[in-house]
Amino acid sequence: MIKTPLCDLLNIEFPILQGGMAWISDAQLAAAVSNAGGLGIISSMNADENWLRSEIQKAKSLTDKPFGVNVMLMNPHVDKIAQVLIDEKVPVVTTGAGNPGKFMKLWIEAGIKVIPVVPSTGLARFSERAGATAVIAEGGESGGHVGEMSTMPLIPQVCDVVSIPVIAAGGIGDGRGIAAALMLGAVGVQLGTRFLVAHETNIHENYKDKIIKAKDIDTTLSGRSLGHPVRSLKTTFSKDFIKAESDPTTPPEVLEEYGRGALRIAAQEGDSQKGCFMAGQIAGMIKEKQSVKEIILTLADETETVLKGGLQWVK
Amino acid sequence: MVLEKVVEILRNYKDEQDLEVTMASTFEELELDSLDTVELVMEIEEAFDTSIEMDGELQTIGDVVTLIEKAIA
Ligand SMILES: Cc1cc2nc3c(=O)[nH]c(=O)nc-3n(C[C@H](O)[C@H](O)[C@H](O)COP(=O)(O)O)c2cc1C
């Protein structure tokens, strides 16, 4: 059994979180992860409060275990979303793309555990000071919007500056990765890419097939010039985007417009001409579509084996 | 005096002792991204032993100075 303080803190069996993924992690996936003993997280992306309320209620009908909601702070409906989380007594909220300061107090007073995703030690310290329950330190190996730091140097440095629990994310795909994260000082992990291929993940089959086919070198970064780089699989879309981006005459608005909705197209239509298939560098290691339960039990087993095996080097 | 101290912190942060900084300098002009801004504002807060709201509205050094002045008044 792998047990860390995060299990008690979040009331979960395994210290494994399924990261919020826009257009992808819905009630079905989140509930499956929570039922399997991890913490499932619904992504509220740019959705409005009505969509989120019904998704939360759906998750509650599918699991009696705790689950979380990922809030994108740039969401125009964020004020109403923040209130729905309180009304529905969602146990855990993770935040990305912005500063949760404004809602922190409200959520914490309502008993919600707030876990910001941070790309640097500065934001980790800032989050702790604002009352965060824990932080997810995410390295740029991950899929989706990424920071500059890699997981390996980020995790121990974040662990050194905060006293709240640190959850590692970015580039973790099996028990070796989880064991390594724990050795770096994290007490839990968040995975995104590995869950893309779960049977319960409601995305176009092309997306899952592309992840299975991907090699280590098959992801790329686009959107650097816009200030928010995105890691995705190399496809016609990503190549065209990077070409447009490197042409100084392309106005940023055109790029923003081009990128908008591209993840939705990938997830729902599986179209590699127009879709942006966000995925992390660990995609190359994912070779099998499995149920969420198989994924979580395999991860937990592997972690245990790897951690026990580590002692062989201690003479 | 707040400005002077902030300028000193900024110069140390960037390790450029003759960096030109005025109230109107923006973080962007100073080549500080949002992560640098968080880091810097925390250093500034610690130097003045106070804290200010960081709600994404901070654009210029003047914004920070004004908030610090209010906080320690
Ligand atoms: C397709 C995709 C979409 C994502 N969308 C979001 C999002 O909307 N909000 C967020 O905070 N993180 C998002 N992430 C990041 C994940 O929550 C998670 O932290 C990350 O995938 C972990 O790294 P890994 O992909 O290497 O496992 C996304 C990741 C992927 C792969």
Phi and psi of A249, rounded to 5°? -85, -10
Count the domains in chain A. 2
Which CATH number belongs to the domain containing residue B52 in this structure? Answer: 1.10.1200.10
CB A222 within 8 A of CB A241: yes
State whether A47 and A190 are in the same domain: yes
State whether A16 and A158 are in the same domain: yes
Tell me if chain B has a CB within 8 Å of the CB of A102: yes
Tell me the best of A99, A142, A216 to mutate to test the pocket of ligand 1, counting ligand atoms within 8 Å of each CB and taking the most.
A142
| CB of A141 sitting under 6 A from ligand 1 | yes
CB A111 within 8 A of CB A93: no
- Domain, as residue range, for B58: 2-72
- pLDDT tens per residue, range A23-72: 999 999 999 999 999 999 999 988 999 999 999 999 999 999 999 999 99
**pLDDT class of A252 with cuts at 50, 70, 90:** confident
- Region B14-37: what's the mean pLDDT? 89
Question: What confidence score (pLDDT) does residue A305 get?
Answer: 97
State whether A111 and A231 are in the same domain: no
Q: Closest partner residue to B38 among A123, A147, A227, by Cβ?
A: A123
State whether A244 and A179 are in the same domain: no
Unique residue bearing structure tokens 């070779």: A287
Unique residue bearing structure tokens 């890419």: A193
- The DSSP line for A121-166 is HHHHHHHHHTT-S-EEEE-TTSSEE--SS-HHHHHHHHHHH-SS-E
State whether A98 and A140 are in the same domain: yes
Statement: residue A97 has pLDDT above 80: no
**pLDDT class of A112 with cuts at 50, 70, 90:** very high
State whether A179 and A234 are in the same domain: no
pLDDT above 90 as % of chain A: 84
State whether A152 and A256 are in the same domain: no
- Domain, as residue range, for A261: 215-278
- pLDDT tens per residue, range A120-178: 999 999 899 889 999 999 999 999 999 999 999 999 999 999 999 999 999 999 999 99
Q: What is the pTM of this model?
A: 0.92
Pick the atom of ligand 1 nearest to A169's CA: 22
Statement: residue A248 has pLDDT above 70: yes
Ligand 1 center from residue A278 Cα (angstroms): 8
Tell me which residues of B are annotated as active site. Answer: 33
Q: Is the reported ipTM for this assembly greater than 0.90?
A: no
**Is A165 part of any domain?**
yes
